[in-house]
């Protein structure tokens, strides 16, 4: 068990975005817990492979190596993008904190400052996400959706170099990297529902480090945890990995009897031609059951049949 005087070793992926996000958590730990923190970079399968995420198995490819580092004692804390986290709990590991979420919406970075609607028919739009690809196809804009991998810098460079006309990225990542000035459009969730948990960070530690579990709980944001719990319950109930064409977003809103959760979700066929889209509201305290009930209703409407996510052709 970690002692209060020891330096906390915080495991992170090595990308600029991952280390920036982990740095934000490290700062929170220093400010709120008074602990010193050092970042420890861990290489993951998702970082080492250039194959489409769906072909790697989707969920967990960025997570398992960090969890292994936790369990074998190389690190004391691990930080993940919550949307990368499998919905099934990992034995011996506790999700100790979900700090306040960044704006979860998706954004467009396009040539010449264009928005989605301004891109000419046939324009090449890059994304590595079946969820984004399906929703873009559903908009019927006649875009050529191309599968690309790589970090934020790599994807934006493909636009700058003319390899593609636009890319769709998470706003949260660009905000944390200080690159919002490169965004040409923020997408309304009515057009593009984000991935469950998008914009939120997950802070994990060993379940046996009970003092650390309790301390890290001070970083938790209740509204964020409620929202992402509802979204991830949709994901879990539909048995969809992070590679599936599924979007979900929950917001804490003011209802007639105080705060409540408003949850929206969509499941799509790979080509975006078919979809099941639903929403519901309920008490913040019933976040998980709210997500489960909404997903069950979507299954009744045939959602499971839609979400077979074939690997899209990869473009260099």
User: CA 34 from chain center: how many Å?
Assistant: 29
The H or E element spanning position 216 is helix 210-216
DSSP class of 308: -
Which of 228, 232, 282 minimizes the C-alpha distance to 253?
282
Radius of gyration of the chain (CA): 19
Cα(288)–Cα(42) distance, integer angstroms: 31
Phi-psi domain of 122 (left: phi exceeds 0; alpha: psi -120 through 50; beta: other) = left
- Work out the angle between the directed axes of helices 287-300 and 222-237 (0-180°, nearest 10): 30
The residue whose two tokens read 């960044």 is 102
Q: Hey, which residues are catalytic here? A: 84
């Amino acid at each position: 068990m970690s002692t209060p005087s020891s330096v906390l070793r915080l495991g992170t992926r090595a990308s600029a975005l991952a280390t920036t996000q982990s740095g934000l958590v490290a700062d929170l730990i220093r400010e709120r817990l008074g602990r010193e923190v050092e970042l420890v970079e861990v290489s993951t399968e998702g970082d080492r492979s250039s194959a489409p995420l769906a072909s790697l198995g989707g969920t967990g490819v960025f997570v398992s190596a960090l969890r292994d580092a936790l369990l074998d004692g190389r690190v004391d804390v691990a930080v993940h993008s919550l949307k990368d986290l499998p919905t099934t709990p990992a034995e011996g590991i506790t999700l100790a904190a979900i700090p306040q979420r960044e704006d979860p919406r998706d954004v467009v970075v396009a040539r010449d400052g264009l928005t989605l609607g301004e891109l000419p028919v046939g324009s090449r739009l890059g994304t590595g996400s079946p969820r984004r690809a399906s929703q873009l196809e559903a908009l019927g804009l006649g875009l050529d959706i191309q599968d690309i991998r790589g970090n934020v810098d790599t994807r934006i460079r493909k636009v700058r170099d003319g390899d593609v006309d636009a890319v769709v990225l998470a706003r949260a990542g660009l905000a944390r990297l200080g690159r919002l000035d490169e965004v040409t459009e923020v997408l309304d969730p009515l057009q593009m529902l984000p991935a469950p948990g998008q914009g939120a960070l997950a802070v994990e530690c060993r379940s046996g480090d009970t003092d650390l579990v309790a301390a890290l709980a001070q970083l938790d944001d209740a509204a964020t945890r409620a929202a992402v719990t509802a979204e991830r319950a949709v994901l879990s109930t539909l048995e969809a990995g992070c590679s599936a064409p599924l979007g979900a977003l929950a917001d804490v809103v003011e209802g007639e009897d105080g705060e409540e959760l408003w949850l929206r979700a969509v499941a799509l066929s790979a080509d975006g031609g078919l979809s099941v889209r639903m929403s519901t509201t309920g008490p913040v305290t019933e976040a998980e059951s709210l997500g489960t009930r909404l997903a069950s209703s979507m299954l009744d409407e045939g959602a499971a049949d839609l979400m077979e996510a074939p690997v899209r052709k990869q473009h260099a």
